[in-house]
C-alpha cells in the first residue's frame, strides 16, 4: 500500500463573492478510506472540486498525488476518479457506451475501454440493464453507473460526493460495501464526502470534518473513538433489568435506547469493568459496541466550537 | 450468480495521447448526430447532389467526344441551343485551360452554395448534440473530471460539427471533382480544373470553420433543445428575409446574416463576375443571355461586400466564443 500523502494543501482558500467557501485549509492526508464530513454548505464539495480543478483556487496551494493542482490538471485527472453528487450521464447513451466513453476520455484505447467498462459494470453489480439508455435508469442504477465511470480507468484515488444519496437501505449497503472494498481490497484511496455520519463510520478510517470552510478535525476514526471511550452499547436478549440494577449500584448512567439496546457509561478507558459486571451476573450479551456515536458526538462538538468561535 | 470474475481488476496498459482523446469526443459527437434519421437522409441528399455534379461534369466532357451519345443528343436540340453548345464545344477544344477552369468554377460555385444551404439545415438538426444536451444533463462536469480540459472538449465538439460538414459539403465536392474529372475525355482536365478545386476548398473550409464555431455558440446558449434549434433557424431565415430589404435601406444590416456573409466570401473566392465575362467573350451566344441580368445583380457578382462580410463573421465568431466561454463550465 502507498504511504506518501495523497492530498496536501496549504492555506487553500476559495471565495465566491463575499462568501469564503474554503478558508485557509491546511491538510496532509495519507492514503486510505477518508471521510469528508460536514453539514450542508460546509465546503466539502468545494474542497473536492478545487482539488479536481473543477473550481479555480482563489489562493493557497494544493497537491494531489504529489502533483500541483493547477499546473498538471490533465495528468492528475488521469489518475483520479470522481462521482459528482448530481446526475451526469450523457443523454441518449447506453450505460456501457457511457462508461466506455469515459474510459476513452482518460486515454484508454477503445478495445481496452470497452472491456474495462464491462468489467466495472460487473463490479458495481449492473446486469443487462447496461445496454439500456442511461436516461431510463433508476437512482440506484445511476449511482452504480457513476461509480463505474469513476473507476473505469483504474485511478489511484476516487472522490465520491454523496454516493448514497437517494438510495434505499439495501442499495446504500451495497454501494458502501463496494466503496469499502476499493481501499481495503484493491488499494485505491477513497475520499467520501457525506453528511451521513453512519456511512462514513462504516467505511472510513480517516475523518476530516469541515464547517464554514475550515477543517475542524482531521484524525483517524480509531483516535476519535478513543477520545470518546467510557461508554458502550450493549445488545442483550435477556437480563436487561439485572444489568440496569448493577449499573445503578455502580452509579453508571444507563439508558434504554429506542431499539432496545442499553447504552451504559462505564467511564473507563477499556471495557473490562463492564465485562466483569456481565460475568458476575452470568449474562451473555449478543453484541457490545464500544464508543457508540463517537463520530456523531465529535461532529456535534466540533460544530458547536465552530459556531461559538464564529 | 455471475459465471465470470466480477472482482475489480487493475489496468496497466499504456494511455493514449491527447489527440486520441479529442478524437473520441469528436467521433462520439458525430456518431450521435448521425443517429438521427432525418440527418441521415439529408446527408444522402448531399451525396445525391454530388452524383448530379459528376453527371454534369461528365456531360461537359462528353461534348468533346465526337461519337458520344451526348453529341448525338445535342444534334436533336433546337437550332438556338445547338448553336450555343457548338460554340461552347469549340471553346472547350481551343482553350481548354481557360474554358475548363471557368466552367468548373461556375459549377462548383453553385454546387457549393447548394451544399451550404443543406449543411446549415443539417447543423440545425444536429445542434443539440454538440453542447446543449451536455449542459442539460450536467455531463460537462464529467468531461472536466477526466483527463481532458475545457479546450479539449470544445476542440472535440468543434471537430464533430466540422466532421458533419465534411460529410454534407466537403466530401461531395471533392468526390464530384475527382470522379467528374476522372470521367473526362482527357487527363489534362485534372490540371485545368485545379483552380476551381482550390476555390471550392478555400470557400468550403473557411465556411465550415466559421459555421462550426457559430453552431457551437448557438448550441451553448441554452440547455433547452427547442430554444437552441429555434435560435439557429430563426437567425438563418430572418437573415435571409432582412438581406433584400436592407439592400435598399441600410446595407450594413445585411451583414447580420451569416448566410449572406458566406455568400460574399464565395463570390470573392470564385470571382464569378470575371468568369462570366470570360465566358461572354468566348461564347458570343452568351452575350444576349447575360444581358438580361439586372445591373444590381451583376454589380453584386463582380464586387462582393467582402470587407463587411469578414467583419460580420469575425464579430459573430467572437460572440460565439464569448457565449461558449461563459456557458461551458463544470458548474
Which value does ipTM take for this structure? 0.83
Q: Which chain B residues are within 8 Å of A82, Cβ to Cβ? A: 145
Distance from CA of B170 to the nearest CA of A (A): 28
Task: From B304, B271, B279, select the one nearest B196 (Cα to Cα).
Answer: B271
Are residues A60 and A82 in contact, defined by beta-carbon separation less than 8 angstroms?
no
Q: Is the pLDDT of residue B270 over 70?
A: yes
CA distance B237 to chain A (A): 29
Tell me, yes or no, whether A285 and A136 share the same domain. no
A54 with B149: Cβ contact below 8 A: no
Domain count, chain A: 2
More confidently predicted of A37 and A195: A37
Of A87, A120, A122, the CB nearest to B2: A122
Whether A285 is in a domain gets the answer: yes
Within this chain, do residues A119 and A149 fall inside the same structural domain, yes or no? yes
Q: Which of B147, B152, B330 to mutate to test the interface with A (most CBs of A within 10 A)?
A: B147
In a domain, A238, yes or no: yes
Q: Which of A78, A104, A185 is facing B24, going by the closest CB pair?
A: A104
Tell me the C-alpha distance between B168 and B166, whole Å: 6
Q: Is residue A299 part of a domain?
A: no
For residue A265, what pLDDT band results from cuts at 50, 70 and 90? confident
pLDDT(B1) > 60: no
Share of chain B above pLDDT 90, in %: 55
Helices B306-327 and B258-270: crossing angle in degrees, nearest 10, is 130
Asked if A74's CB is within 8 angstroms of B18's CB, the reply is yes
> Across residues B178-183, what is the average pLDDT?
92
B156-167 per-position pLDDT tens digit: 999 999 999 999
Q: Of A163, A192, A223, which residue constitutes the final position of a domain?
A: A223
Name the domain boundary from A169, A203, A223.
A223
- Tell whether A77 is covered by a domain: yes
Write down the pLDDT at residue A2.
Answer: 61
CATH assignment at residue A172: 3.40.50.300
Cβ under 8 Å to B: A residues 140-169: 149, 151, 153-154
Q: CB–CB of A107 and B28 under 8 A?
A: no
A130–chain B Cβ distance below 8 A for any pair = no
Q: What is the pTM of this model?
A: 0.84
Helix runs in chain A, H state only: 44-51, 73-78, 95-105, 110-123, 139-151, 169-184, 197-203, 221-227, 240-249, 272-280, 294-309
Yes or no, beta carbons of A84 and B2 under 8 Å apart: no
Give the minimum alpha-carbon distance from B231 to chain A in angstroms, rounded to a whole number. Answer: 21
Contact criterion met (CB below 8 Å) for A232 and A291? yes
Query: Does A268 share its domain with A213?
Result: no
Distance CA B87, CA B110 (A): 23
Q: Is A276 left (phi over 0), alpha (psi -120 to 50) or beta?
A: alpha
What pLDDT, on a 0 to 100 scale, did the predictor assign at position A61?
92
Distance from CA of A290 to the nearest CA of B (A): 33
pLDDT of residue A83 exceeding 80, the answer is yes
Q: Taking residues A115-126, report their average pLDDT.
A: 92
Q: Is B204 helix (H, G, I), strand (E, B) or coil?
A: helix
Domain CATH code at residue A280: 3.30.70
Residues A268 and A215 in one domain: no
Residue A1 has pLDDT above 70, yes or no: no
Mark whether A45 and A163 lie in a shared domain.
yes
Please report the number of interchain residue pairs, chain A to chain B, with beta-carbon separation below 8 angstroms. Answer: 115
Domain chopping of chain B, boundaries? 38-327
Say what the pLDDT of residue B308 is: 92
- Alpha carbons within 13 A on the beta-carbon side of B121: 16
Q: Distance between CA atoms of B171 and B179, rounded to whole angstroms?
A: 12
Query: Do B11 and A122 make contact, defined as CB atoms within 8 angstroms?
Result: no
Q: Cβ contact (<8 Å) for A88 and B136?
A: no
Lowest pLDDT segment from B11-20, B96-105, B140-149: B96-105
The grid cell for A212 is 464554514
Confidence of residue A91 (pLDDT cuts 50, 70, 90): confident
Residues 70-129 of A with CB under 8 A from B: 73-75, 77-78, 80-82, 84, 86-93, 101-102, 104-110, 112, 116, 119-120, 122-123, 125
> What is the least distance, in Å, from the CA of A60 to any CA of chain B?
21
Contacts of B329 (CB under 8 A, 6+ apart): B140, B150
Mean pLDDT in residue range B273-301: 72
Domain identity same for A200 and A97: yes
Report which of A277, A276, A281, A273 is spatially closest to residue A230, judged by C-alpha positions. Answer: A273
DSSP string covering A44-91: HHHHHHHHTTSS--SEEEEEETTEETTTSHHHHHHTEEEE-SS--PPT
Residue A163 is part of which domain span? Answer: 7-223
pLDDT at A26 over 80: yes
Percent of chain A surpassing pLDDT 70: 97
What tens digit of pLDDT does each residue of A267-284 get?
777 888 888 888 888 888
Q: Tell me, what's the pLDDT at A309?
A: 66
- Please state the rounded mean pLDDT for residues B15-34: 93
**For chain B, which residues lie within 8 Å of any Cβ of chain A, measuring from their own Cβ?**
2, 4, 6-13, 15-18, 20-21, 24-25, 28, 32, 35, 133-134, 136-139, 141-149, 330-331
How distant is the alpha carbon of residue A222 from its chain centre? 15
- One domain for residues A162 and A25: yes
The cell for B176 is 464530384
Range of weakest confidence among B19-28, B179-188, B207-216: B179-188
Residues A267 and A145 in one domain: no
- Are A161 and A245 within one domain? no
Answer yes or no: is A111 within a domain: yes
Nearest to B104 by CA among B48, B184, B205, B209: B184
Is residue A297, in this structure, part of any structural domain at all?
Answer: no
Are residues A193 and A121 located together in one domain of the fold?
A: yes
Other beta carbons less than 10 A from residue B276's beta carbon: 19
Which of B6, B34, B146, B151 to substitute to test the interface with A, most A CBs within 10 Å? B146
Kindly tell me if the per-residue pLDDT of B285 is higher than 70.
no
Mutation target to probe the B interface, by most B beta carbons within 10 A, among A107, A108, A137 is: A107
Q: What percent of chain B has pLDDT over 70?
A: 92
Cα→Cα distances A197→A6, A34, A221, Å = 23, 12, 12
Amino acid at each position: 500500500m502507498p504511504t506518501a500523502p495523497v492530498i496536501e494543501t496549504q492555506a487553500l482558500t476559495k471565495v465566491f463573492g463575499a462568501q469564503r467557501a474554503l478558508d485557509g485549509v491546511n491538510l496532509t492526508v495519507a492514503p486510505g478510506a477518508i471521510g469528508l464530513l460536514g453539514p450542508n454548505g460546509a465546503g466539502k464539495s468545494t474542497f473536492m472540486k478545487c482539488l479536481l480543478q473543477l473550481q479555480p483556487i482563489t489562493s493557497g496551494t494544493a497537491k494531489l498525488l504529489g502533483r500541483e493542482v493547477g499546473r498538471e490538471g490533465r495528468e492528475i485527472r488521469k489518475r483520479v476518479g470522481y462521482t459528482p453528487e448530481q446526475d451526469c450521464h450523457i443523454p441518449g447513451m447506453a450505460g456501457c457506451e457511457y462508461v466506455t466513453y469515459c474510459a476513452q476520455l482518460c486515454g484508454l484505447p477503445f478495445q481496452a475501454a470497452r472491456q474495462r467498462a464491462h468489467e466495472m459494470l460487473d463490479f458495481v453489480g449492473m446486469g443487462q440493464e447496461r445496454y439500456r439508455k442511461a436516461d431510463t435508469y433508476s437512482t440506484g442504477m445511476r449511482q452504480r453507473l457513476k461509480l463505474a465511470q469513476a473507476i473505469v480507468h483504474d485511478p489511484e484515488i476516487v472522490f465520491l460526493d454523496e454516493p448514497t444519496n437517494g438510495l434505499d437501505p439495501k442499495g446504500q449497503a451495497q454501494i458502501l460495501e463496494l466503496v469499502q472494498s476499493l481501499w481495503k481490497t484493491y488499494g485505491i484511496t477513497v475520499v467520501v464526502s457525506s453528511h451521513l455520519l453512519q456511512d462514513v463510520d462504516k467505511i472510513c478510517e480517516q475523518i476530516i470534518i469541515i464547517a464554514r470552510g475550515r477543517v475542524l478535525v482531521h484524525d483517524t476514526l480509531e483516535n476519535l473513538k478513543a477520545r470518546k471511550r467510557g461508554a458502550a452499547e450493549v445488545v442483550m436478549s435477556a437480563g436487561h433489568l439485572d444489568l440496569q440494577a448493577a449499573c445503578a449500584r455502580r452509579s453508571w448512567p444507563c439508558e434504554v435506547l429506542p431499539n432496545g439496546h442499553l447504552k451504559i457509561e462505564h467511564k473507563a478507558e477499556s471495557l473490562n469493568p463492564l465485562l466483569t459486571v456481565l460475568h458476575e451476573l452470568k449474562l451473555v450479551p449478543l453484541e457490545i459496541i464500544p464508543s457508540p456515536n463517537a463520530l456523531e458526538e465529535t461532529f456535534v462538538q466540533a460544530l458547536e466550537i465552530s459556531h461559538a468561535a464564529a | 450468480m455471475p459465471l465470470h470474475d466480477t472482482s475489480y481488476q487493475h489496468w496497466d496498459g499504456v494511455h493514449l495521447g491527447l489527440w486520441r482523446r479529442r478524437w473520441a469526443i469528436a467521433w462520439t459527437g458525430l456518431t450521435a448526430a448521425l443517429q438521427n434519421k432525418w440527418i441521415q437522409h439529408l446527408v444522402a441528399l448531399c451525396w445525391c447532389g454530388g452524383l448530379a455534379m459528376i453527371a454534369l461534369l461528365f456531360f461537359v466532357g462528353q461534348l468533346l467526344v465526337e461519337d458520344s451519345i451526348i453529341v448525338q443528343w445535342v444534334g436533336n436540340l433546337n437550332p438556338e441551343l445547338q448553336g450555343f453548345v457548338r460554340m461552347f464545344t469549340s471553346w472547350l477544344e481551343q482553350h481548354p485551360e481557360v474554358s475548363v477552369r471557368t466552367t468548373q468554377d461556375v459549377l462548383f460555385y453553385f454546387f457549393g452554395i447548394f451544399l451550404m444551404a443543406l449543411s446549415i439545415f443539417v447543423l440545425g438538426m444536429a445542434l443539440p448534440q454538440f453542447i446543449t444536451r451536455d449542459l442539460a444533463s450536467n455531463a460537462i462536469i464529467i468531461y472536466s473530471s477526466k483527463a481532458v480540459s475545457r479546450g479539449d472538449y470544445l476542440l472535440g465538439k468543434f471537430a464533430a460539427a466540422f466532421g458533419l460538414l465534411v460529410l454534407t459539403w466537403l466530401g461531395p465536392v471533392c468526390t464530384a471533382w475527382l470522379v467528374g474529372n476522372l470521367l473526362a475525355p482527357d487527363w489534362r482536365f485534372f490540371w485545368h480544373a485545379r483552380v476551381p478545386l482550390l476555390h471550392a476548398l478555400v470557400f468550403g473550409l473557411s465556411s465550415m470553420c466559421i459555421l462550426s464555431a457559430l453552431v457551437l455558440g448557438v448550441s451553448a446558449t441554452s440547455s433547452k433543445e427547442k430554444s437552441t434549434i429555434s435560435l439557429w433557424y430563426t437567425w438563418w431565415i430572418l437573415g435571409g428575409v432582412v438581406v433584400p430589404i436592407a439592400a435598399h435601406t441600410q446595407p450594413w444590416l445585411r451583414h447580420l446574416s451569416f448566410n449572406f456573409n458566406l455568400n460574399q466570401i464565395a463570390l470573392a473566392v470564385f470571382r464569378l463576375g470575371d468568369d462570366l465575362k470570360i465566358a461572354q467573350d468566348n461564347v458570343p451566344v452568351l452575350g444576349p443571355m447575360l444581358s438580361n441580368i439586372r445591373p444590381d445583380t451583376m454589380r453584386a457578382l463582380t464586387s462582393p461586400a467582402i470587407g463587411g462580410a469578414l467583419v460580420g463573421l469575425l464579430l459573430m465568431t467572437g460572440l460565439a466564443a464569448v457565449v461558449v466561454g461563459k456557458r461551458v463550465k463544470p458548474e
